[in-house]
Amino acid sequence: MSSICETASTDGEHCFEKSCPCRSQKYVLCPYHKKTFLCNRHRYTGCSQCHLPGRYEGGAAFHSQSSWDAQDATSQCLLVRLKQMISAGDHDTAADQIERQLSELKNTSASARLLKAQLFLEKGHAWHSIAGVDGIQTHEEKTQYLEKAHDAFRTSVEQFQNYGLSKRNPQSYADALLSEANLQARLAKHGEQGDLTKAKKKAKSAERILKRLECSTEGTAIRVLGVIWLTLGDLPKAKQLFLAAIRAFRNSGKELESIWCAVAHWNVHIVLKDLGKTSDSLPWLKRATMLREHIEGPDAPYVKKYHEWLDGLLKELGCEKSKNQKPETMTHAEWKALDLALNAGSACF
């Protein structure tokens, strides 16, 4: 928590969650953890302990569909732990725990159905991560994990839609839509069945939701649209969207916090390589590696993967490694090239 909020009362503080675009928070009580922040202007925030979204008036919580209960807080704490496991590369443990929770989830209340939709979402993230970094050697094996992830994301979307949960947690619903759309494009790229028209529609829906929420993750939706156009073979359009995604992350102040901003830089690197501009792609891979390591730490599975790709590219370009600098260290010219590309893209998008 940082300094006193200038637009709130004297006991107000800036919420470290930064969930509200106006940054106007006032300290009030969460009914379970006794610690949260209230935005005076938008009246929306979440508990700083369990991250459970809700609205508060004078310390009392209320919700558009139902009030909180102890199970809600427990569920959200569980989801936070699962996200941490997946981020740390403990995918199998996370997947096993999700399966156990789903098998034990017999309640049909709105809270239980919301938890089920979110569990399927995290299950998809776990399978997707395994496909990327856990030593999958063959195309067939990798595709199997991607298909499992896609099925989980699709089930999550169906849960949100069938039980009217999309309005209760629109940000998780947008995440599910984007995740399903992303893998529809990925599977199509690998020669599998993927309906790109439906994928594009889902990504657009998610983008509208995030804009309505004034959410700082709008760049994630734009990036997925770029993946779809990349799959369609329109490299210039894909590059344009990836650059727009990076600008969206920068403008929202999330460039140094979002993994997907790092991935968008990697996407630009891939497009430039496919266009035959291998040397021009180097700064983008360097920046992607730098961002990913900053967010996840040096031991995260994907960070190691990015370093492997960067070492391979440096070798391919005949660049010698400096003993005094990390391989992802960027020169002044490389920084300037990135800024020029981003500024040029903003003029035509």
Q: What is the CA radius of gyration of the chain?
A: 21
User: What's the whole-number average pLDDT of the chain?
Assistant: 76
Residue ranges of the domains in the chain?
A: 1-62, 68-205, 216-349
Band of the pLDDT at 324, cuts 50, 70, 90? low
62 pLDDT above the threshold of 60:
no
Choice between 11 and 182, residue whose per-residue pLDDT is larger: 182
State residue 86's pLDDT score.
82
216-349 shares the fold of 68-205: yes
Selection from 346, 261, 266 nearest residue 308 by Cα: 266
Band of the pLDDT at 236, cuts 50, 70, 90? very high
pLDDT, tens digit, for every residue of 104-151?
A: 888 788 888 888 999 999 999 988 888 876 566 677 888 888 899 999
- Dist. CA 172–CA 160, nearest whole Å: 9
CA angle 13, 14, 19 (to 5 degrees): 135
Q: 68-205: what fold? A: 1.25.40
pLDDT, tens digit, for every residue of 186-207?
A: 887 655 555 788 888 888 888 8
Helices 170-189 and 218-231 pack at an angle, to 10 degrees, of: 20
* 269-276 mean pLDDT: 96
Band of the pLDDT at 54, cuts 50, 70, 90? very low
Q: 216-349: what fold? A: 1.25.40
Q: What percent of the chain has pLDDT over 70?
A: 72
State residue 292's pLDDT score.
93
* 208-233 mean pLDDT: 83
Choice between 168 and 247, residue whose per-residue pLDDT is larger: 247
Helices 110-133 and 70-87 pack at an angle, to 10 degrees, of: 0
Using CA atoms in the order 303, 309, 311, 312, what is the torsion angle rounded to 10 degrees? 170
Band of the pLDDT at 79, cuts 50, 70, 90? confident
- Dist. CA 73–CA 70, nearest whole Å: 5
State residue 194's pLDDT score.
55
Choice between 1 and 80, residue whose per-residue pLDDT is larger: 80
Measure CA of the first residue to CA of the last residue in the chain; give whole Å: 36
pLDDT, tens digit, for every residue of 287-315?
A: 999 999 998 888 888 898 899 999 999 99
95 pLDDT above the threshold of 80:
yes
State residue 163's pLDDT score.
83
